[in-house]
Every structure is written in C-alpha cells, then in structure tokens.
C-alpha cells in the first residue's frame, strides 16, 4: 500500500506556491486591483444613476476586452498559467464557504438530537472545507499578487482574512479529529474556533463581493 508522507507533500506544495508566486509577482499586472503598497486612490462618493451604471459597465467591458487581447498576445506560457490560477480563485471559494457553515449546522443539529454520530459528518465537511480554504487562499494570492500590504484596504483585508481562515481551518480540523478520539473531553475551544471561522467566512464573502462589485456600498438597499 502506498504510504504518503504528509510533511513531504506539504513541503513540495509550499515550494511550488513560492516558485509560481514569484512568477505572479514578476509578470502579473495587479495595479488595477489596487494590489501592492502605495497611496490609496481618492474615492468618489457620487451616487451613480442607473444610466451611469449601464454606460460605465459597457465602457469597462470594451476596455477590458481590448486590454485582455493585447496582454494575451504578449504573455508567455508560464504567465498564462499564473493568470489562470488567479482566475480559478473564484471557482474554489465556494467549497470552504459551504463546508464550514455546513459543519456548524450539522454539529448544532447533532447537539439538538444528542447524537454524536453527526460529529463524523461534520468532520468530513471540515476536511473538505480545510482543503478548499487552503486552495482558495493560495489561488487568491495569485489573483491579487504576492504583496504583504495593499493600497486598496478592502483587498488587503480580504487577503489576510482569507489566509487566516485557511490557517485556522487546519487547526479546527485537528481539534475535530482530537475530539472524536476523546469524546468525553470538553470541546469549548473547538466550538469557539468553529464559530469564529463561520463568522469570518461571512465577513470574507462580504469583502469579496465589495471588492468585485465596486466598493463597500454594493449591498445598499
């Protein structure tokens, strides 16, 4: 039977992220996202009308298509891979969102039914959620560039909150496995961390929506 060394796999994964990450920082243009250090751009708080929204969307789409065509002609194969990895971020983020929130719901339902068998279902969801969180955070760094600080505060908050959720998700997975091995031990830390991650994911989703849809007022009623 094939034995997999987890430390070796993690080491090679980290090395791969670092190599590709250096390429992402070197070749990808993240200026339009507000990534990287620098002074934030001055914000305009004019309330747009419906016609302004339509005109801005049409103009933005035309400009984006023009720039994308021009950029694609100059990109190497490695640069295209890095760009593709960044765009895959939006596909992966749904897994940790669904799995962590679902694990909390399953755990609460198990408490209500006083049935510890639901802990196993929650543990499986945490495994998928933790893997998804690591993938989403890693791909998010490709999408936003490998910078420690960003001039766009929404992007910076989104970057580091997502990274924190990925790290805490691994810790939560460990606590869940330990709790299953020792069911009589108190699970206060596990519950606190699960609640914190669930709240963090809600905030993270709101920040991501704000960033992608033009500002903090995108959910205005």
Stretch 154-171: mean pLDDT, rounded? 94
Task: State the number of CA atoms in the 13 A half-sphere of 158 facing the CB.
Answer: 28
CB distance 82 to 23 below 8 Å: yes
pLDDT of 104 reads 95
Residue 66 lies in a domain: no
Helices 153-181, 188-212: inter-axial angle, 10-degree rounding: 150
Q: Give pTM, 2 decimals.
A: 0.70
First-to-last CA distance in the chain? 58
Q: How many CB atoms lie within 10 A of CB 121?
A: 15
Tell me the angle at which helices 6-27 and 77-87 cross, rounded to the nearest 10 degrees: 110
CA distance 139 to 94: 13
Q: Specify if 36 maps to a domain.
A: no
Residue 196 lies in a domain: yes
Q: pLDDT value at position 82?
A: 76
Residue 94 resides in a domain: yes
Q: Can you give the pLDDT at residue 103?
A: 95
**189/125 Cα distance (integer angstroms):** 18
> Which range of residues forms the domain containing residue 126?
76-221
Question: How many structural domains compose the chain?
Answer: 1
Tokens of 175: 């606590």
The predicted-structure confidence for 36-81, as pLDDT tens digits, reads as follows: 777 665 544 444 455 544 555 555 565 455 555 555 667 787 778 8
Quick count: other Cβ atoms within 10 Å of Cβ 66? 10
| Residue at 53 is within a domain | no
Whether 67 is in a domain gets the answer: no
In a domain, 7, yes or no: no
20 belongs to a structural domain: no
Question: Quick one: which of 199, 198, 202 has its CA closest to 102?
Answer: 198
């Amino acid at each position: 039977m094939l034995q997999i060394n987890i430390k070796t796999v993690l080491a090679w994964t980290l090395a791969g992220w670092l190599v590709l990450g250096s390429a992402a920082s070197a070749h990808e243009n993240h200026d339009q996202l507000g990534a990287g250090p620098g002074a934030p751009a001055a914000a305009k708080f004019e309330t747009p009308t419906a016609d302004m929204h339509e005109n801005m969307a049409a103009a933005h789409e035309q400009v984006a298509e023009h720039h994308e065509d021009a950029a694609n002609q100059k990109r190497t194969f490695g640069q295209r891979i890095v760009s593709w990895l960044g765009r895959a971020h939006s596909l992966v983020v749904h897994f940790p969102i669904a799995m962590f929130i679902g694990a909390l719901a399953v755990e609460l339902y198990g408490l209500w039914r006083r049935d510890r068998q639901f802990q196993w279902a929650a543990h499986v969801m945490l495994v998928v959620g933790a893997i998804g969180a690591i993938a989403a955070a890693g791909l998010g760094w490709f999408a936003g560039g490998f910078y420690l600080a960003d001039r766009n505060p929404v992007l910076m908050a989104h970057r580091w909150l997502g990274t924190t959720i990925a790290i805490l998700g691994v810790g939560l997975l460990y606590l869940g496995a330990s709790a299953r091995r020792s069911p009589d031990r108190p699970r206060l830390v596990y519950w606190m961390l699960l609640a914190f991650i669930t709240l963090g994911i809600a905030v993270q989703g709101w920040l991501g929506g704000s960033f992608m849809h033009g500002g903090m007022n995108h959910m205005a009623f």
